[in-house]
Amino acid sequence: MAEPTKFSIAVPSEDPKKKEKKPEDPDAKSKPNGEADSGEDLSEEDLQLKNELEMLVERLKESNTELYRPALETLRTLIKTSTSSMTSVPKPLKFLHPHYPELQTLYETWAASENKALFADILSVLAMTYSDTQPRGTLRYRLLSASLQANGPPISEPGSWGHEYVRHLAAELGEEYNARELGEDLEAPTTEGKETPKVPQSVGSIDDLRALGLECATFLLQHNAEPDAVDLLEELEIVNRIVEIVDENTFSRVCQYMVACVNLLPPPDDVAFLETAHAIYVQHQRFPEALALSIRLGNPALVRDDFNAPGNPLMKRQLAFLLARAQVPKEWLDPEDAAEEELPEDLLDCLNNTQLSQHFKDFGKELGVADAKSLEDVYKSHLENTRTTSNVDSARGNLAGTFVNAFVNAGFGNDKLMVEAEEGSSWIYKNKDHGMMSAAASLGLSLLWDTDVGLSHVDKYTYSSEEHIKAGALLATGILNTGVRTEADAALALLGEYVDNKSVPLKTSAMVGLGLAYAGSHREDLLAILLPHVADDGVSMEIASLAALALGFIFVGSGNGEVAQTILQTLMEREDAQLEEKWARYMALGLALVYLGRQDESDATIATLQAIEHPISKQAEILVDMCSFAGTGNVLKVQTLLHHCDEHIEKTPKEKGKDDKEKEKEKKEGEEEAKDEKPKDDTFQAFAVIGIALVAMGEDIGSEMSLRQFNHLMHYGEPVIRKAVPLALGLVSASNPQLPILDTLSKYSHDNDLQVALNAIFAMGLVGAGTNNARLGQMLRQLAGYYHKEPDCLFVVRIAQGLVNMGKGTITINPFFSDRQIMSKNAVAGLLATLTAFTDAKAFVLDKYHWMLYFLVTAMYPRFLITLDEELKSFPVTVRVGQAVDVVGQAGKPRTISGFQTHSTPVRLGTTERAELATEEFIPFAHVLEGFVILQKNPGWEKEAKMEL
């Protein structure tokens, strides 16, 4: 019993003495077990090694300088050749650990020479064992060694000491750089008091640190540690130098990692990462990948260069398809000097999305959904458990039918109610007044992207004597030109003249039509048509705001100064009473859309907005701020927006948050004190909530975290916040019906506050848009039964049913495409405009502005993969479609999809799905199989049948 006790005490008591005994008592065998090397028996080899090392250390202390070099060389060889398991410290380092302090002292006494440089190199390796007490010793001696060998070749590459050493060095480089740049000194207290003064921080310059960083990064890249290399260079703020050191084996992994990091980086770095990855892709001639990053950067010069870089005409067409999907303004591609020739016809067809309609209809035929669906097919009202079965046509019911029919048959151009209705029995006449406008406009949705047939159908209604029908026809013209461009510019020709019409419905629908038709085109010639209406003090707030919104759509994400100036000017000059109107929020949204995704460029505008006295400035400020950082996942922005939500805005004792806005305004105008004057409008909080979703939706982790915040807001928020939460949920997961979100929305759709319930039902439509989700369909049918006496709620339930069946399950409204890497600014603009209408549903959608639901059209796009041959004809090949798996930074070549099924193209892709070719018979030109992909026969491919002979 006593012996183990003695043994357990022996280790700590003898441990410190070991250092003194080591040199003088080489025969460790005679020591009792407890004292030998922390309680382990040394084998013969170990003893021999230990003695040899101690002899070498003694030799360095002698005065004979000729012995130094061989001793150092032997030390170096011994350290390098020692193999050890992954977990234990290499033997030489372990045995030399006690001698490190005396070797340090010895080093200081030597004169500068090549030997000293080699000594420093060896000390640098030994310093790894002292990293806890003497931080950054490895780096310091490495730099000293380099400075002693400034003229000659370096004593050794960092990589020659092995992987662990390089990783150690990389970690210390980052710390040292921060200590020098930010002045944070990470000096830890050292145990050896005498060594502390001699750790000067300034060995080598910042450039030396960076040069060493590049050496380490090169080593890491050669050894499959791409993420470590990128992180090291990012810490040293020279990530752009990685372009010089990648080769064809490492570049794709480096770029994937860098692009995956973008959402997690603070502002200047995220753009730097994208630009660096872009430079690498260009260097290795990966044009589609490079172009995708140029589009994300929104840089016209880069887009033009990337588009013109490849010589292969098929590759150019593939890039044209990508640009058409991103709705990049065609003017970006025009050569600087007009002398160069125009783009060829076939490229323009790809760029203008001319073939989209035809391909979409063929896709519908392939999937067997080409036939029109009737309303009953969508409602399935025989499954609803309502007690009343009345077939009375109600105006409200017919109006809902208008939208359902339009969304469900969108793009197929064959619905029974409008396009193929008998003469005189058109659905339009089943609606009243403003209902006729939405009904006529639904024609545009049904004939979406089909500019030729569409215009001839709509044309007959433009001559109608009924003002609302005519207005609807104008809106239809704009809708069906959304996302496709024509040489004829029909939309501008037809709508331009009506912008100055005396009639308000014709005027507003012409403006909105232009906004939708030319969304994201940045067309300067439309400024002259629309800007005067924003600036004109004489026109109503409705006209000015919708003109501002149309400009927001057209110049989305352009940062156009002229538009921004004019809208700011108007906000300053309008009287308070006008800015109180419900329309003002659209003017603010128009301004915000101009800065969509521009990050810091909106700072000046926000500063100007803060100078405006009226509460509208707060709304505008939040809108501009959140749009600037849309989809970036910027954490600081989300925190700022959350702060806006936690203000409790005092109302008068007659607290009625759910009353309509007019009453609130009257109540509030009665308050005299300036303190109460300021926060009389709390609409800005609704936008702050939507803003959280808008910023967070770019990346998965952020959007998941936001769900929890929404849950809190729903519990503790004011009524204005609570009714915005469902809308935010709809935005964060558009066309992506995840079960937790569906359950949450289902709960909110039975809320006591009808506004919350309405918005939750609409959000269910957004979340399931174009997915045909059966579970959602079931939920909505139950809601139709539950709300059968509430006309407003029933109306929204019907619209949600229409959205879920959008395009019979072939259309998505999710703003992210190309493997969810690129955010479509047009889509975001459309979604935000629609959500803004629902921030006050009673005043807009449930009043006579239900046509605002058509704002969604800019976000609607087919979710298909169509493979084309070299003549751009549809060409079936087998592909595997499965859930996308994130494999960035994983070792080897893991599968990028899981749980796949094999289909023949054309095939429908869900929001979170990814496709890959089943065989290597064809080489795709695109880097992501989505939308239109051009294939080329693989010359090296042989059929397996031949192999069997």
Both structure tokens of 941: 């491919």
Q: Virtual CA dihedral for 930, 934, 940, 945, nearest 10 degrees?
A: 70
pTM of the model: 0.86
State the average pLDDT over residues 382-407.
Answer: 75
- pLDDT tier for residue 671 given thresholds of 50, 70 and 90: very low
Beta carbons of 710 and 741 less than 8 angstroms apart? no
Which one has a higher pLDDT value, 768 or 200?
A: 768
- What is the distance, to the nearest Å, from the Cα of residue 330 to the centroid of all Cα atoms in its chain? 24
Q: Name the phi and psi angles at 203, rounded to 5.
A: -80, 125
Mean pLDDT over the full length of the chain: 84
Beta carbons of 664 and 702 less than 8 angstroms apart? no
Beta carbons of 594 and 564 less than 8 angstroms apart? yes
pLDDT in tens, 775-794: 999 999 999 989 988 889 99
Instruction: State the pLDDT at residue 338.
Output: 55
Instruction: State the pLDDT at residue 185.
Output: 53
pLDDT in tens, 209-267: 899 999 999 999 999 889 999 999 999 989 899 999 999 988 999 999 999 999 888 88
CA distance 488 to 517: 13
pLDDT in tens, 719-728: 999 999 999 9
Which one has a higher pLDDT value, 13 or 927?
A: 927
Instruction: State the pLDDT at residue 86.
Output: 60
State the average pLDDT over residues 486-497.
Answer: 85
pLDDT in tens, 105-118: 888 888 888 888 88
Instruction: State the pLDDT at residue 296.
Output: 92
Instruction: State the pLDDT at residue 342.
Output: 74
Beta bridge partners of 492: none
> Alpha-carbon torsion 516, 519, 521, 526, what sign?
positive
- What is the distance, to the nearest Å, from the Cα of residue 803 to the centroid of all Cα atoms in its chain? 24
Share of the chain above pLDDT 70, in %: 87
Q: Name the phi and psi angles at 893, rounded to 5.
A: -125, 80
3-state secondary structure of 937: strand
pLDDT in tens, 138-191: 888 888 888 887 777 777 888 888 888 899 899 999 988 888 887 755 444 444
Residues in contact with 378: Cβ distance below 8 Å, sequence separation at least 6, in sequence order = 404, 408, 801, 802, 805
Q: What is the DSSP letter of 752?
A: S
**pLDDT beyond 70 at 888:** yes
Beta bridge partners of 861: 812
pLDDT in tens, 808-830: 999 999 999 998 899 999 999 99
**pLDDT beyond 70 at 677:** no
Instruction: State the pLDDT at residue 659.
Output: 37
Place of tokens 């599968």: 895
**pLDDT beyond 90 at 36:** no
pLDDT in tens, 917-936: 998 899 999 999 999 999 99
3-state secondary structure of 52: helix
Beta carbons of 602 and 562 less than 8 angstroms apart? no
Provide the pairing of β-strand 861-862 with 878-884.
Answer: unpaired
Beta carbons of 867 and 916 less than 8 angstroms apart? no
N-term to C-term CA, the chain: 78
Instruction: State the pLDDT at residue 374.
Output: 84
CA distance 20 to 334: 79
Q: What is the DSSP letter of 874?
A: B
Instruction: State the pLDDT at residue 385.
Output: 67
**pLDDT beyond 80 at 422:** no
3-state secondary structure of 882: strand
- pLDDT tier for residue 37 given thresholds of 50, 70 and 90: very low
Which one has a higher pLDDT value, 669 or 325?
A: 325
**pLDDT beyond 90 at 133:** no
State the average pLDDT over residues 318-328.
Answer: 92
pLDDT in tens, 524-576: 889 989 999 998 888 899 999 999 999 999 999 998 899 999 999 998 888 88
Q: Which helix (H) or strand (E) element contains residue 274? A: helix 267-283
Residue of 625, 615, 610 lying closest to 579 (CA atoms): 615
pLDDT in tens, 428-479: 778 777 888 888 888 889 889 988 888 888 888 888 888 888 999 999 999 9
Instruction: State the pLDDT at residue 661.
Output: 37
CB-based burial label for 42 (10 Å; 0-12, 13-18, 19+): middle
- Angstrom CA distances, 536 to 20, 548, 583, 585, 592, stand at 92, 12, 15, 18, 20
Instruction: State the pLDDT at residue 743.
Output: 94
Instruction: State the pLDDT at residue 324.
Output: 92
Polymer length of the chain: 949
State the average pLDDT over residues 70-77.
Answer: 88
Q: What is the DSSP letter of 849?
A: -
Which one has a higher pLDDT value, 388 or 545?
A: 545
- Angstrom CA distances, 209 to 33, 130, 212, 237, 399, stand at 46, 21, 5, 11, 69
The 3-state DSSP composition of the chain as helix, strand, coil percent (nearest 5) reads: 60, 5, 35
pLDDT in tens, 251-271: 999 999 999 999 888 888 889
Place of tokens 């549809």: 874
Give the type of residue at 520.
G
